[in-house]
Amino acid sequence: MQPDTRKFLTFGSYMLFAGVLAAVLMFTTFGGITHQGPHTNMGWIALMITMGCVPLGLISLLLGLAKLFGDRSH
């Protein structure tokens, strides 16, 4: 595995994990969420972290996986 592929996979995994953790905390610890949004300020911060980390982490992880499979085919 090339070093840049490992960086993409590591970064994507960490970002996706951080986003999922923020979402779980938003629903459980930080007061839950309704149709109007989270109930607390920490819930809103967790929502912003989730909305930033999940898409970026998923895209980075998919790019790393595509690069990994592309490197193995050569």
Position 2 pLDDT exceeds 90 = no
Q: Residue 28: give the domain boundaries.
A: 3-72
pLDDT-based confidence at residue 3 (cuts at 50, 70, 90) = confident
User: Please, where are the H alpha helices in 1-74?
Assistant: 3-28, 41-72
Question: What mean pLDDT do residues 27-46 have?
Answer: 92
Hey, what amino acid is at 31? G
pTM, entire model: 0.85
CB 39 within 8 A of CB 74: no
Domain count, the chain: 1
pLDDT tens for 57-68 read 999 999 999 999
